[in-house]
Chain A
Amino acid sequence: MSWGLIFATTKIFHFSHALTLTLAVYAAVLAAGPWGIGLPAGFALAAGAGCLVGLATELAVYRPLRRVHASQLNIFLASLGLLIAGQSAVLIAFGPQARTLEGFPMTGIALGPVAFTTIEALWVVASWLLIGLLMAWLWRTRHGRAIRAVASNPELAQCLGVDRERVFLLVFAVGSALAGVGGALLALRDTASPTMGVQPVLAAFIAVFLGGIGSIPGAALGGVVLGLAENMGGLVLPGYWQGVIAFVVLFVVLVVRPSGILGARGR
């Protein structure tokens, strides 16, 4: 959802979202570990750090590039470069060892033949809660309507007095804060490492294209379809095929419905 929100509104292929997520998670790890201020504060710090990194990326990289009329490809390459440089900086600063985000116990829950963990249960609850809050904000507030207007038709939105640059800043702030919280949730089970952001952002790309480019609810639906396909597919195919399953599903959806599940037809 966080990447989908940014992409749907700004049309920037924001690959360094992976760096935002990583830096935010390291902030949470420091907060919950060495600084000892607890996991809830760690989550708040992850959201704050993500927000700041996202804003800095927009202000220092993307906005100057837009001002010199850089192409989408140039902006994507800048984003990729920022990610690679940032990952190296994280590697130097924190070392290559995986760091655990402690404070939430992982125990098993068995419902008949279905087994899952407390962390996975937290993921489901927290994800749907955040999605619900985001949807409510986007559909019921003035700022949310402005974002949807820019995502839908930026020229018309500007004609109606919506400041496109301010909306861009807003989606980078909100989307990056969400990435920070999502990353911290992920790190509860998977730990923090310099390259941890790439896999979730790749999954986000696929989910956004599955759900329909430009559709924010589509990004959520795409994520659900992708997750189900990977995990249900894992029951009949070897587990390491999950990545392949994701791309096969994307391929099928794009062939059958090129605009994605909830994408607008005939644009």
Chain B
Amino acid sequence: MGRIRFRAAISLVALMAWLAAPPPPPVRAAGTLKIGMILAMTGPGAFYGQVMSHGARVAVDQLNRAGGVGGYKLELVIEDHKSGDADAAVTGARKLLDVDKVPVILTSYSAPTLAIQPLAVEKKVLLLNGGGVGSALIGKPALYNTRMLSSQTAPFIIQWAAGRFGAKRVATLFWNDAAGQGVNGAIKETCARLGCQVVAEEPHDLGAKNYSAQLARIRAARPDALALGTFGDDVGYVLNQARAYGLTVPVLGIDWTPNAQKIGGKALEGYVIAVDRFDPGGGDDKTQAFVEAYKAAYKETPEFYAANYYEHVQFILRPLVKRVVDRKGDPTKPGELLAEMQRALAEHFAFPSVYGGEMQLHPDGTVTKPLGVYEVKDGNLALIGRIVGGKVQR
């Protein structure tokens, strides 16, 4: 009995001591910087979401293995815009901004990016786009594009066609969204300047598989070149059907992917594009370090979509976070990374690029990367012209 009383007394004293003790200091949140992504994870563009997220993940894994950035571990939080659905993008952005409290969002596609940009401004969050190419993406506060936009690349395909074979009648076939309309607008503007005429303008739905109606009208307009404002796999379907329906004129564009090549096959031979091209076999040491890491992680060669989002994390966010930490700031706080980006641009900070050398980010949100004119030969892109000083040089 005495022993029981003794144990009870000890327990009571321990309980009172525990109650009286000051509460332990709150555990300091681990230094984790969340990076939001709004990508096409489902729907016809799910391929892009997959490779873009893979590109970013390779960079995050590399940096975390090396101890993080400025003491912060990086974490990706991915939301889905269902292949271009602006409403889904806004829902995803609200979750990222209000629940996850991310200070930066990596986005893709023109319409979703434009839809979430006002939210990013309101919450002082940095937006990086490596996929959308619509010219409406220029000059938007908080938004920086690391892919050259349609208004930067599309004029060169018309310039090339006019110079190479004197194109006078151009037909356009383009995505019926901000990106495609942007390409169409840039082509019309360039044509007006160079004295050629746009004889047919045919928009189509994203991910469409049947182009018979559009191609019939284009054939009837008798163009001497067809310019595409179409992206990804759609390029393969368009070329396949255009050639099968007997449209033999040169086809020009601003996008080519290995998967489109697989879909289009021989129909893509001779397809000419003006593009800021990522060459996984070229570049410099950092290009090869990325390509090797990507291949090791995903057993495939990265495309430029993966490269752009790798760059976002490795070559834009890493230096920005370090700069914020170096001046004793907190990069997880909204506004810090955005303000640092603006400071870096004002100081002409040089961001490296896996395209080789450096990329020039401009205050209006555009980027300059090495640009060239390429032609599909034997299933691969071959450089047929360099763009120097705004002119195509063969």
Contacts and interface: CB of A to CB of B under 8 A. Distances in A.
Interface of A: 88, 91, 95-98, 100, 106-108, 110, 115-117, 189-191, 193-195, 231, 234-235, 238-240, 242-243
Contacts of B237: 190-191
Contacts of A243: 205
Contacts of A95: 47, 50
B373 to A, nearest CB: 27
B244 A108 contact: yes
B219 A238 contact: no
The 8 closest A-B pairs by CB, nearest first: A234-B213, A96-B46, A190-B209, A239-B213, A239-B214, A117-B244, A96-B47, A108-B244
Q: Which of A100, A108, A110, A239 has the most CB of B within 10 A?
A: A239
B204 interface: yes
Given A106-B244, A108-B244, A115-B246, A242 B46 contact: no
Contacts of A239: 202-204, 208, 211, 213-214, 217
25 contacts: A95-B47, A95-B50, A98-B233, A100-B263, A106-B240, A108-B244, A115-B245, A117-B244, A189-B241, A190-B210, A190-B237, A191-B237, A191-B263, A193-B44, A194-B46, A234-B213, A234-B214, A238-B202, A239-B202, A239-B204, A239-B208, A239-B213, A239-B214, A240-B204, A240-B205
Given A193-B44, A235-B213, A240-B205, A100 B244 contact: no
A168 to B, nearest CB: 32
A3 to B, nearest CB: 19
A116 B212 CA distance: 8
B262 interface: yes
Contacts of B360: none
Interface string B211-228: 111101101000000000
A238 B203 contact: yes
Interface residues of B, number: 33
B176 interface: yes
Contacts, number: 76
Interface string B234-264: 0001001101111000000000000100110
Nearest to B205: A240
Most interface-central of A98, A115, A190, A194 (chain B CB within 10 A): A98
B283 interface: no
A103 B176 CA distance: 32
A6 B208 CA distance: 28
Interface in B94-129: none
A107 B212 CA distance: 14
B350 to A, nearest CB: 35
Nearest to A114: B216
A98 B212 contact: no
Contacts of B204: 239-240
B43 interface: yes
